[in-house]
């Protein structure tokens, strides 16, 4: 059993060690009941890691300016993967008494401080032995996303510091760490957002929010770019190669040109391993984290506009997916995207989705994103992006997290810009969950001198009202016409050569029931090309995109 030793070196300096713990239930709750005290903290860490075990030698210094006796609670955790041992506490500028409590998992040191001088300093020396790869505790949202591996692991606050109720600045100095690892950090902000932090020298400067230290076998690639006359530092911590930082710079510039200029001074990408999936990423305030660049990061970068700068709740996922399509858009990608939409078996209208779940994911991300692509087609490029910019500025200051309210806001923005009623569009796309089915119901081809007259009857069988592009391909020319289909529509067109093909929605603006060459194979869980039924009327091939 430990014995509490109190040494008074001078009247205003006390050393406490060898704490004797009393067992009490629910120590963590007891800790939570204490009030915050204003003060600043500095932590100095020596971190060692052998691939499984992290050993952290720490000194935590708390500076207070108390004028009356106050109890400072200090909490630490012990479990099968974390052995946290407070070795000594030194107090200057005050008299001090300690009560040590333990409940089998958490230890609580209650420091009764009686100030003698204007400034009081508490210095806590400790050792923590932590096994990051075995940690499955979900202490915070971020633990749901990051998994520690030998190549990149993280230290939650519980692993490297004593939790106090002292609120103020917190500086974390990593005076030594394994030299083949790079350090970075994630600072928790209000409303479950995280900001990547890089050390200045060897020190992270935080405002005292929960701070996760990350160590990874990354290379650091950095570029400085100009966006709208402002300098933005782009940093990639990754083992994927230097090209990543160049692609990030491109993405930021592309999104900035369509939406509003990237609103922050820095963008930091951190490569991490996902916790639940092989492929996982999440957007950060001024950055992104993810398991791999190609499929994830364009989406996560977009969250700096939709999600961080403006918060639109679930619609952030639709709009981030849409925005990611602005980076390297190709028709093949649109077809692939459409195929993912059509593969979804979820038939919940977006307005009725309450959470991002596996069931609703495709519906919310891909289908939701594609709807915005269709809206772009309906209102035109210039109006569409102007509307998105207005939406971002409104939702930057206003709470837009309620889907239905925000859909009404979006509708209002575009109705004002186009001076048109757009209720039909929002009703059929957000309040329903199926897709239009456009077909050529009849085709007549007549020869007139050296020209041809093509008469098409185009119908839609799922009750959608939509504009539609129709492309007529002849040996001489391609003619593209825009029609409005409400049930059915007739298109008559004179062409120079004999028409060989009619393409409905050639640029894939609308997700159509028969519009994609791809489907998910639910048995094999693969994404594959499918054979599409080919139609031909009077020697004219009919294609639906
Ligand atoms: Zn997302």
Cα-to-centroid distance, 164 and ligand 1 (Å): 33
pLDDT of residue 7: 67
Closest to 245 (Cα-Cα) out of 254, 234, 255: 234
Answer yes or no: are the C-beta atoms of 133 and 150 closer than 8 Å: yes
The alpha carbon torsion through 376, 378, 379, 385 (nearest 10 deg) reads: 0
Cα-to-centroid distance, 306 and ligand 1 (Å): 9
Cα-to-centroid distance, 291 and ligand 1 (Å): 14
pLDDT(443) > 50: yes
Answer yes or no: are the C-beta atoms of 337 and 366 closer than 8 Å: yes
Cα-to-centroid distance, 267 and ligand 1 (Å): 17
Q: What are phi and psi of 503, to 5 degrees?
A: -110, 120
pLDDT of residue 279: 82
Cα-to-centroid distance, 314 and ligand 1 (Å): 9
Q: 255-265, pLDDT tens digit by residue? A: 999 999 999 99
Cα-to-centroid distance, 45 and ligand 1 (Å): 34
Cα-to-centroid distance, 303 and ligand 1 (Å): 7
pLDDT of residue 1: 43
Cα-to-centroid distance, 364 and ligand 1 (Å): 10
Cα-to-centroid distance, 128 and ligand 1 (Å): 35
Answer yes or no: are the C-beta atoms of 172 and 197 closer than 8 Å: no
Cα→Cα distances 415→79, 368, 379, 419, 509, Å? 58, 20, 9, 5, 20
Cα-to-centroid distance, 401 and ligand 1 (Å): 14
Where are the strands (E) in 177-325, listed by range?
A: 182-189, 193-197, 203-206, 211-216, 219-227, 230-238, 266-271, 273-274, 281-284, 287-290
Answer yes or no: are the C-beta atoms of 19 and 109 closer than 8 Å: yes
Helices first, then strands: H and E counts in the chain: 11, 35
Cα-to-centroid distance, 32 and ligand 1 (Å): 32
**310-434: in CATH 1.10.390.10:** yes
Q: How far apart are CA 183 and CA 199, in angstroms?
A: 8
Cα-to-centroid distance, 209 and ligand 1 (Å): 23
Cα-to-centroid distance, 148 and ligand 1 (Å): 21
Cα-to-centroid distance, 361 and ligand 1 (Å): 10
DSSP reduced 3-state for 245: helix
Cα-to-centroid distance, 320 and ligand 1 (Å): 6
Q: 217-255, pLDDT tens digit by residue? A: 999 999 999 999 999 999 999 999 999 999 999 999 999
Domain boundaries, the chain: 5-150+158-177, 310-434, 438-544
Q: How many CA atoms lie within 13 A of 133 on its CB side?
A: 10
Cα-to-centroid distance, 366 and ligand 1 (Å): 11
Answer yes or no: are the C-beta atoms of 271 and 238 closer than 8 Å: yes
Question: How far is C-alpha 429 from the chain's CA centre?
Answer: 25
Cα-to-centroid distance, 308 and ligand 1 (Å): 11
Answer yes or no: are the C-beta atoms of 306 and 324 closer than 8 Å: no
Q: Average pLDDT of the chain? A: 95
Cα-to-centroid distance, 282 and ligand 1 (Å): 6
pLDDT(128) > 60: yes
Closest to 213 (Cα-Cα) out of 188, 233, 192, 240: 188
Where are the strands (E) in 261-334, listed by range?
A: 266-271, 273-274, 281-284, 287-290
Cα-to-centroid distance, 326 and ligand 1 (Å): 15
Answer yes or no: are the C-beta atoms of 432 and 508 closer than 8 Å: no
pLDDT(2) > 60: no
Cα-to-centroid distance, 362 and ligand 1 (Å): 11
Cα-to-centroid distance, 382 and ligand 1 (Å): 25
Question: How far is C-alpha 347 from the chain's CA centre?
Answer: 25
The two three-digit tokens of residue 414, written as one number? 């575009």
Q: Which CATH architecture has domain 438-544?
A: Sandwich (2.60)
Cα-to-centroid distance, 297 and ligand 1 (Å): 10
pLDDT(378) > 80: yes
The two three-digit tokens of residue 121, written as one number? 């300093």
Cα-to-centroid distance, 317 and ligand 1 (Å): 5
Cα-to-centroid distance, 72 and ligand 1 (Å): 40
Cα-to-centroid distance, 279 and ligand 1 (Å): 12
Cα→Cα distances 199→182, 202, 228, 489, Å? 10, 5, 27, 63
Cα-to-centroid distance, 47 and ligand 1 (Å): 33
DSSP reduced 3-state for 441: strand
Q: 310-328, pLDDT tens digit by residue? A: 999 999 999 999 999 999 9
pLDDT(12) > 80: no
Cα-to-centroid distance, 166 and ligand 1 (Å): 34
Closest to 324 (Cα-Cα) out of 358, 277, 275, 290: 290
Q: How far apart are CA 462 and CA 41, in angstroms?
A: 63
pLDDT of residue 414: 98
pLDDT(410) > 80: yes
**Averaged pLDDT for residues 439-451:** 93
Cα-to-centroid distance, 491 and ligand 1 (Å): 41
Q: 323-366, pLDDT tens digit by residue? A: 999 999 999 999 999 999 999 989 999 999 999 988 999 999 99
Cα-to-centroid distance, 240 and ligand 1 (Å): 21
Cα-to-centroid distance, 353 and ligand 1 (Å): 15
Cα→Cα distances 444→453, 458, 460, 483, Å? 8, 12, 18, 18
Cα-to-centroid distance, 433 and ligand 1 (Å): 20
Residue carrying the six token digits 């001088």 = 117
What confidence tier does 440 reach under pLDDT thresholds 50, 70, 90? very high
Cα-to-centroid distance, 384 and ligand 1 (Å): 21
Cα-to-centroid distance, 302 and ligand 1 (Å): 8
Cα-to-centroid distance, 283 and ligand 1 (Å): 7
Whether 310-434 and 438-544 share one fold: the answer is: no
Cα-to-centroid distance, 408 and ligand 1 (Å): 22
Closest to 70 (Cα-Cα) out of 101, 37, 39, 28: 37
């Amino acid at each position: 059993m430990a014995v509490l030793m109190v040494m008074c070196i001078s009247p205003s300096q006390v050393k406490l060690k060898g704490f004797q713990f009393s067992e009490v239930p629910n120590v963590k709750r007891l800790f939570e009941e204490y009030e915050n005290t204003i003060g600043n903290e500095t932590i100095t860490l020596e971190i060692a890691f052998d691939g499984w075990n992290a050993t952290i030698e720490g000194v935590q210094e708390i500076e207070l300016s108390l004028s009356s006796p106050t109890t400072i609670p200090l909490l630490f955790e012990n479990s099968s993967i974390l052995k946290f041992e407070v070795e000594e506490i030194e107090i200057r500028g005050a008299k001090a008494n300690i009560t040590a409590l333990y409940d089998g998992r958490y230890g609580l040191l209650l420091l009764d401080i009686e100030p003698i001088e204007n400034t009081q300093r508490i210095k806590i020396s400790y050792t923590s032995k932590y096994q990051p790869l075995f940690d499955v505790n979900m202490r915070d949202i971020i633990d749901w996303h990051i998994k520690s591996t030998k190549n990149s692991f993280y230290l939650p606050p519980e692993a490297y510091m004593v939790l106090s109720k002292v609120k103020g600045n917190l500086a974390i100095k990593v005076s030594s760490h394994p030299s083949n690892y790079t350090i970075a950090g994630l600072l928790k902000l209000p409303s479950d957002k995280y900001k990547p932090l890089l050390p200045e020298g060897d020190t992270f400067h935080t405002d005292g929010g929960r701070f996760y230290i990350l160590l990874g076998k990354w290379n650091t690639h950095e570029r400085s770019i100009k966006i709208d006359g402002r300098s933005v530092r782009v940093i990639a911590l990754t083992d994927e190669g230097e090209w990543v930082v160049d692609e990030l710079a491109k993405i930021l510039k592309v999104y900035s040109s369509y939406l509003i200029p990237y609103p922050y001074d820095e963008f930091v990408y951190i490569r991490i391993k996902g916790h639940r999936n092989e492929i996982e990423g999440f957007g950060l305030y001024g950055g992104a984290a993810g398991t791999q660049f190609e499929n994830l990061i364009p989406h996560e970068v977009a969250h700096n506009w939709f999600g961080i700068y403006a918060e639109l709740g679930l619609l952030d996922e639709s709009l981030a997916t849409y925005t990611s399509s602005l980076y390297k858009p190709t028709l093949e990608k649109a077809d692939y995207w459409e195929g993912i939409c059509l593969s979804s078996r979820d038939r919940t209208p977006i307005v009725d989705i309450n959470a991002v779940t596996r069931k609703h994911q495709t519906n919310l991300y891909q289908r939701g994103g594609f709807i915005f692509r269709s809206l772009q087609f309906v209102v035109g490029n210039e109006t569409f992006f102007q509307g998105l910019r207005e939406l971002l500025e409104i939702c930057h200051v206003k709470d837009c997290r309620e889907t239905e309210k925000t859909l009404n806001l979006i509708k209002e923005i575009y109705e004002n810009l186009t001076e048109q009623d757009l209720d039909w569009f929002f009703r059929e796309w957000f309040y329903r969950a199926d897709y239009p089915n456009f077909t050529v119901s009849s085709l007549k081809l007549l020869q007139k001198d050296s020209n041809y007259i093509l008469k098409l009857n185009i119908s839609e069988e799922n009750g959608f009202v939509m504009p539609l592009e129709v492309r007529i391909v002849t040996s001489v020319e391609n003619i593209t016409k825009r029609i409005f289909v409400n049930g059915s529509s007739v298109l008559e067109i004179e062409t120079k050569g004999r028409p060989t093909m009619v393409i409905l929605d050639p640029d894939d603006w609308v997700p159509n029931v028969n519009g994609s060459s791809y489907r998910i194979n639910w048995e094999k869980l693969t994404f594959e090309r499918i054979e599409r039924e080919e139609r031909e009327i009077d020697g004219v091939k009919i294609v639906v995109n």
